Chain A
C-alpha cells in the first residue's frame, strides 16, 4: 500500500458525493468483536496478542467479499504513517497510540478497514461517502458473517457480543454519520440540536471521534445504546433524525442568505481570501476557514470553485498528510508555512479550481 499515492487522493470519507453530500459528509458503521478463547486486549500477554493478530491476519487475507484487503502491521509503522491513517479515518487514535502487536486490513477503496487488537480483538469498519448507513450495515454484516465462519466469537445469548467495555456490549455496533453544520454553528443553534439528540440517546462527537473538538464544523452523530435494541432499530433511530438536522441546517443557511446575504457573502469571501494569500497558517485556522468556504461554495457565493477540491483540502492540510505530500518530516512552524504554500497553489490554480 503506497501512502504517498494515497496522500494525493481524497479518501472515502471526504470524497464528497453520495446522497445529501453537501451536508452529510459520510456514514460509518463499526462492529466490535472478540475471540471467545482469549482474554480481552488489555489483559492479553504479548504472546497472546501476537496469536490474536496472526489469527485475524490470516482471516483477512482469505476474506472474499469482492475487494482485496491490504494488511498493515501498525506496530511497525512510524508515527507519521500512523497519524496519516488516523487522519484518513482508517484507524482510530487508540490503535495508533496503543502498543503491542496490532494491525489493520484496509481495502484499497478505503471503504473497509478491519482493526486488530484495538480495544477489542476485531473492529470491522465500513465507511461510505454521503448518507448511506444501510449500505454500510449490509457490507459490515456480510464481512462479519464471513469472519465468523472462520473464528469463534465471544457471544452470550443474554448479553450478545461480549466486548472489553460494557458500553459496546450487545450488538457491538456503533453507527455514525458525519455532518457539516456551519450555519447551525454560526447562528448558535447547534447546542439546542445536540441537547435534543442526547435526549434520544444519540451522541455527538467531533471530527476524530471521542474527545476530539468539532473542528471545521464537522459533527459525528452516533448511537449510545448497543444493548437491548436490534441493529435495525439502532439504525432507524439515527435515520429518523438525520433528515431533520439536514433540514435545520438548510433552513439556517436560507435564513442567513435572506437576512444578511451581504454579511455572509463578506464572511465566506474573507475566509477564501485568507486561504488564497496567507503565508503561514495553522491546521485549526485552515479547518475553520475551509468550513466557511465550503458553505459559500454550496450556496453559490463563491463562483468557480470546485467543492471536491475544498473537500480534498480539509484532509490534505492535516499534519501527517502535509508531510507525506512534501515527502519529509516537518516541525509545526515549517508545516504552517508548507500548508499556506500548498493552499495558495491549489486555490489559485485556475485550471484545477474551475472544473
Chain B
C-alpha cells in the first residue's frame, strides 16, 4: 500500500483506523512525523487539515482500550519483522507471529484485559510447528529480500531466494 500522508507529501506508513461513538470508521494515513503529532495531539487539535475534516470530534484509536496508559519510554522493535510497539498501538495489528514474544511484556496485560486470561486451552494443531526458529528465520529472510529488491541488489536477492527455498524445502514434509 503506497499511500501519501494526509497532511504532507511524504509517504504514509501509519494507517490509523478511528472509530467514533456511533461505530463509524474512518481511516487516516500519515507519515512518521505527522503520525507522531497526530497521536500525541489531543483529539481536537489533531483535526486540522481538510483531509481529516471527516474525522469525528473525539476520536479514539481502536486499540486504546486496555493498553498500558503510560507513554512508552523506549519503544521496542521486533527483530524479525521490524514492527515497533508504538506502531502496533496505533494500528491495532501486529506485524508477525514473533511479535507475541517481542512485545510479550506489554501484550500480557492487554490480553488479560481482553480475555481475562493469558493461556490457551483450546484446540492444538495435529502437528506442532517443529521449530519456530526456522519460521522466524524465513520471515527475516523475506524482509531482507524485500530490501534487496528495493535497492535493486539482484545478486543478493537471488542468494536470498535460494536460501528461502532451501529452508522451506528442509522443513516441508
Contact = CB atoms under 8 A, between A and B. Distances in A.
B126 A212 contact: no
A113 interface: no
A160 B122 contact: yes
Nearest to B138: A37
B79 interface: no
B171 to A, nearest CB: 8
A48 B94 CA distance: 16
B95 A225 contact: no
A230 B120 CA distance: 8
A36 interface: yes
B135 A152 contact: yes
Interface string A192-228: 0000000001000000001111000000000011111
Interface string B101-134: 0000001001100111111111111111100101
Interface stretch (A38-46, A175-183, A314-322): A38-46
Nearest to A34: B97
Given A166-B94, A169-B100, A145 B146 contact: no
Contacts, number: 143
B135 A228 contact: no
B1 interface: yes
A138 interface: no
A34 B98 CA distance: 12
B33 interface: no
B43 interface: no
Interface string A134-167: 0000000100110011001111111111101111
A240 interface: no
A61 to B, nearest CB: 18
Contact of B122 (A38, A45, A230): A230
A152 B125 CA distance: 9
Q: Which of B93, B118, B124 has the most CB of A within 10 A?
A: B93
B125 A155 contact: yes
Interface string B144-159: 0010010000000000
B96 interface: yes
B100 A156 contact: yes
Contacts of A149: 126
Interface residues of A, number: 52
B93 A165 contact: yes
Q: Is the interface of B mostly helix, strand, loop or mixed?
A: loop
A230 to B, nearest CB: 5
A39 B95 contact: yes
Nearest to A93: B25
Q: Which of B91, B107, B123 has the most CB of A within 10 A?
A: B123
A167 B97 contact: no
B1 A228 contact: no
B15 to A, nearest CB: 8
B168 interface: yes
Nearest to A149: B126
Contacts of B119: 158-159, 227-228
B128 A155 contact: yes
Contacts of B126: 145, 148-149
Contacts of B9: none
B142 A38 contact: yes
Contacts of B94: 40, 164-166
B96 A227 contact: no
Nearest to A169: B111
Given A227-B115, A227-B120, A42 B95 contact: yes
B93 A42 contact: yes
Contact of A37 (B83, B139, B146): B139
B24 A153 contact: no
B115 A226 contact: yes
Given A36-B132, A43-B83, A141 B123 contact: yes
28 contacts: A36-B97, A36-B132, A37-B168, A39-B81, A40-B97, A43-B83, A43-B93, A45-B142, A47-B146, A47-B149, A48-B146, A148-B125, A148-B127, A153-B125, A156-B132, A157-B128, A159-B120, A160-B122, A169-B120, A171-B120, A173-B122, A211-B19, A211-B25, A213-B23, A225-B114, A227-B114, A228-B115, A228-B117
Given A40-B94, A228-B115, 7 more contacts: A38-B142, A40-B93, A40-B96, A43-B96, A141-B123, A167-B114, A228-B118
Interface of B: 1, 15, 19, 23-25, 81, 83, 91-97, 100, 107, 110-111, 114-129, 132, 134-135, 138-139, 142-143, 146, 149, 168, 171
Interface of A: 34, 36-40, 42-43, 45, 47-48, 99-100, 119, 141, 144-145, 148-149, 152-162, 164-167, 169-171, 173, 201, 210-213, 224-231, 234
Q: Which 8 A-B pairs have the closest CB atoms?
A: A228-B117, A160-B120, A154-B97, A43-B95, A37-B138, A227-B115, A171-B122, A36-B135
